Amino acid sequence: MIEVLRSGLLTTIQDLGRPGYAHLGVPRSGAADTRSFRLANRLVGNAESTPCLEFTLGGSSLRFHEAGRIALTGAPAPIRLGGRPVPTDRWLTARSGDVLEIGVPEYGLRTYLAVAGGFDVPKTLGSCSTDTLSGLGPAPLQAGQRLAVGCSPLPPPLVPDCVASPVPGDVVVLRYRRGPRDDLFTEEMLNRFGSARWEVTAESNRVGTRLSGPAITTFSTDQLPSEGMMLGSIEMPPSGQPIIFLADHPTTGGYPVIGVVEADDVAVLAQTRPGTPVRFQRVSARASSLTTT
């Protein structure tokens, strides 16, 4: 059993989401940074889809009421376990009574906690994920809440005990493919979009990352019918400021999609804080298929 002492800005339970329900208007949801999420589970010996905790900008503390194996990945926050500083990106042993304190990350946005055996919470439509858009899944964690931990019959994980976190550069570069509605933009606007330096705004959340920069407008004033949306879609509202859809994105939208960010780079985007500079790098369909396989 794990007790929540301090919940922080936003702490949710996440797995790999609930795919297959978009036709019913249900988003996939799931971990915003799937690379860090999967790594956390691998480090403690869990299946990669096992539920973890996703912390946004840290500020949380938990008490362990029984011993267990844990790992923290993602945004490298200062961590104390039982009063001792401990590293991220490796598996650790939490003793009964230990308090885990998660500070504000030095960089990045979301930190993940995996425990051996996972968190034992009810599933909704096959997933334990908290969806902040639809309200499906468990509510965000609150102080005083207690979380049950599943059984872990697995032996210690046969993986390296330390994996380095990537250090972000001065500018985050996102690979993207044009379309499906790039035909609604002039070549000048498409070039402006691809060459501009954008900045992540404070209005970003698990639904989407909002960017500010030069206005990108269409040459058509016709209103589009609602169309299906996917993870990484770059929607261009009338303001001309892009919205890039993340894990809790809606299943449909009515604004033109100028392009789609590569799946691998969505995890990078999910770790960008407000004020982070962003540039786009266009890739061909063939190059895209090679980078995601």
The per-residue pLDDT for range 14-27, each reduced to its tens digit, is 999 999 998 888 98
Tell me how long the chain is.
293
- Which domains are delineated in the chain? 2-147 (2.60.120), 172-291 (2.40.100.10)
Separation CA 127–CA 121 (nearest Å): 10
- C-alpha distance across the termini of the chain, in Å: 39
pLDDT at residue 198 in the model: 97
The pTM of this model reads 0.91
pLDDT of residue 289: 40
User: How far apart, in Å, are the Cα atoms of 109 and each of 226, 262, 263?
Assistant: 31, 20, 18
293 confidence band (pLDDT: 50, 70, 90): very low
167-183 pLDDT, tens digit each: 667 899 999 999 899 99
